Amino acid sequence: MKIIFISFVFTNLLLANLFDDINIFKASSALGDKDYKSAFESYDKVQNKSDEINYNIANTLYKQKKYEEAILHYDKISSKDLQYKKLHNLGNTYAQLDKIDYAIKKYEEALKINKNKDTQFNLDLLIKKKQEDEKKKEQDKKDKKDKKDEGKDNKDKNKSDQDSKQKKKKEESDKNEDEKEVKEKKDNNSNNQDKAKDSKKEEIKKQEDNNTKEENVKNTDLSHLEEKRWTKMLNNRELNTLMIPLKTKGEKNEQNINPW
């Protein structure tokens, strides 16, 4: 029985190895055709997965852009002979995931094992990218701050413009009020001047009327004085001269006496 059991186990191992060899062959053929999906499926069927198999599985997943799964298989590799390749490819994988710090770290670890120019080129490229990203972040932060300050400035400017408009409107209103007041004063002054002129005219007219009356009175007084003077003079001559009223033209004076 023991011999039969050993024989059974050995047979299964041989068959397993045979199937593994068949799947490895299929995977290698698929890789030659760049059929990474078929290659992964064949490698995944291998029962005894060595570090080399896990390395190839990780690479086929990387080629299919299944980066997270690829990292899981790279991390399974412990062989010192594959450490450089593992670290270099991990650097590539983290770079594809835009995990720049992880990628830089893996490239630096790989360079400690092998001063490969391709690895150094990738490292330099990522360091430059990191610097540019940081610079861009700073610029974006500055732009955001400038935009915020600009928004505040615009808000202040709008408020200032609004205050300026209100102030201008008030000044115009005050100006209109002042002009209105000046016009009213001017109109009042004009009316007062007109009234003063009219009053002066009335006063002058009144004065002229008074002067005329005084002149008439004076003339009347002079006439009376003249008449008295002549009357006295005639009386002194002992002559009685009557004031004879004049007749209309063609009529004869009464008693045929001419006026004096």
- Indicate which CATH number applies to the domain containing 97: 1.25.40
Confidence of residue 103 (pLDDT cuts 50, 70, 90): very high
Residue bearing the bigger pLDDT, 164 or 123: 123
Q: Is residue 163 part of a domain?
A: yes
Minimum mean pLDDT range among 19-28, 152-161, 213-222: 213-222
Q: Is residue 128 part of a domain?
A: yes
Task: Say yes or no to pLDDT of 246 above 50.
Answer: no
Q: Is residue 85 part of a domain?
A: yes
CA neighbours closer than 13 Å in the CB half-sphere of residue 206: 6
Confidence of residue 216 (pLDDT cuts 50, 70, 90): low
Minimum mean pLDDT range among 52-61, 131-140, 208-217, 239-248: 239-248
**Across residues 174-190, what is the average pLDDT?**
69
Report how many domains make up the chain: 1
Q: Is residue 198 part of a domain?
A: no
Q: Is residue 97 part of a domain?
A: yes
pTM of the full structure: 0.55
Task: Say yes or no to pLDDT of 5 above 60.
Answer: no
The full DSSP string for 2-69 is HHHHHHHHHHHHHHHHHHHHHHHHHHHHHHHTT-HHHHHHHHHT-SS--HHHHHHHHHHHHHTT-HHH
Q: Is residue 168 part of a domain?
A: yes
| % of the chain residues with pLDDT over 70 | 65
For 12, other C-beta atoms within 10 Å of its C-beta total: 10
Identity at 69, one-letter amino acid code? E
Q: Is residue 149 part of a domain?
A: yes
**What is the residue range of 94's domain?**
79-181
Q: Is residue 167 part of a domain?
A: yes
Distance, C-alpha 36 to centroid of its chain? 55
